[in-house]
Structure 1
Amino acid sequence: MKDLKEMPGHLIRRFHQISVAVFFAELERIGSDLTPVQFAALETVRLNPGTDQATLAGLIAYDRTTITGVVDRLVGKGLLTRQVSETDRRARRLQLTDAGIEELGKLAPAVEAAQQKMVGGLDDAEAAELIRLLKKATIAGNDLSRAPLKIRSS
């Protein structure tokens, strides 16, 4: 068996720990307590206004049951609104509030700084290659996830 330091699963888990710690540190620095998943949800709703919770879960590869708690917290913080769909009474349509739009604007520099710190040990070409390989591996393994990303065709 390989040494742990040579196993992709171990390295990915460790890099995930680092990325979450960096994300929290950067957002804490500006006084925000949003989690990476909450940020992903807000940014996705910004890009897809009126999306429903189930679609949001698919777009950020998050469990449909658990997304309800994420949305509940964002609604509670006044960053999102949730309204019953006019076309499907079971669906809840999501919109950013003015406070949500303002929060995303405030977060943008901190999130960008976090992304740069995550690849801080790499030069620009290496960082681009890491992103390319992570995308390729993620797409290849998407269907193996318990919450696969719903890839929209363009």
Structure 2
Amino acid sequence: MREPGDDRRVRLRRRPIPQRIDREQYAPYHLAVIANVVSSSTSQVYLREFGIGVNDWRVLSHLALEPGCTAQTVSNELGVDKSVVSRSVRTLVDRGLVGVETTPGFRRLYLTDAGVDLHKRVVPVALQRERLLLAGLDDAEVAQLLELLRRVHANLPALAAGDRTPRTHRDSTHDHSTHDHSTHDHSTHDHSTHDHSTHDHSTHDHQESRA
């Protein structure tokens, strides 16, 4: 970082650098963009139609699947920070959509009758949005996609564990035989290239978990 008054010239790289990730072949890029657009657009629709945000819906959807769970459980299942879940829980409790039962050491969450009613109203919209997302895929392709996503989902604990591993250890144990999605450009030319809910409960009711 340059200090104020430092007039040293900084080289601006105006062309793609020779070694870069090919986004079209990089799964995290696709997953991130899809998740971002789905989350943002869903939040807009649900706020307009039902007065709840997408995180509020995710909590409602999870409680429909697992009544009596805690905010920490919801956080773990959704892969979001507990503070995000806690804010949604407060909002839903204030609106009378979720109730809290305090037991020794736990605050268990349940849908109220109003919460169940709202959940029933949101489900058809969630399913319609899923159909829009998966348009062009036949039933077999959808089944294959879901199976592949479940397998990727199963890798998340290993990914999280890797984030906690010191960098030097990761570098020394990295398997260089895995797929290389970087693009090596050795010429002078540019060859650069190209509603389920947010938690997947494959053992639960398929319809109820969609967002």
Please tell me the TM-score bracket, short chain as reference: 0.7 to 0.9
Query: What 5-or-longer segments of structure 1 have no aligned partner?
Result: none
Corresponding residue to 1:119 among 134, 142, 167: 134
**Alignment partners' CA distance in 2, 1:32 and 1:19:** 17
Paired residue for 1:7? 26
Q: Deviations over 1:46-65 (max 9, x none)?
A: 22222222222223332223
**Alignment partners' CA distance in 2, 1:84 and 1:97:** 15
Change (3 A) 1:10 1:21: same
**Alignment partners' CA distance in 2, 1:127 and 1:16:** 17
Contact 2:46 2:54 in 1 (8 A): no
Paired residue for 1:130? 145
- Residue 110 of structure 1 aligns with an amino acid whose one-letter code is V
**Alignment partners' CA distance in 2, 1:56 and 1:107:** 19
**Alignment partners' CA distance in 2, 1:71 and 1:105:** 18
User: Identical aligned pairs, as a percentage?
Assistant: 23
**Alignment partners' CA distance in 1, 2:109 and 2:99:** 6
Paired residue for 1:101? 116
Q: Deviations over 1:98-132 (max 9, x none)?
A: 11010001111001111111111322222222211
> Which sits farther off after the overlay, 111-120 or 124-133?
124-133
Task: With the length of structure 2 as denominator, give the TM-score of the two structures.
Answer: 0.59
Contact 1:27 1:111 in 2 (8 A): no
Contact 2:71 2:82 in 1 (8 A): yes
Contact 1:24 1:33 in 2 (8 A): no
**Alignment partners' CA distance in 1, 2:70 and 2:108:** 4
The structure with the greater share of residues assigned to helix is 1
Structure index of larger Rg: 2
Change (3 A) 1:23 1:66: closer
- For the aligned residue pairs, the C-alpha RMSD in angstroms reads 2.6
Q: Which runs of 4+ in 1 moved over 6 A?
A: none
Paired residue for 1:58? 76
- Larger RCO (CA within 8 A; separation ≥ 6): 2
Query: What 5-or-longer segments of structure 2 have no aligned partner?
Result: 1-19, 162-198, 204-211
Aligned length: 145
Contact 1:42 1:104 in 2 (8 A): yes
Q: Residue 13 of structure 1: CA displacement?
A: 1.2
Change (3 A) 1:65 1:143: farther
Contact 2:67 2:109 in 1 (8 A): yes
Paired residue for 1:48? 66
> Which sits farther off after the overlay, 10-19 or 103-112?
10-19
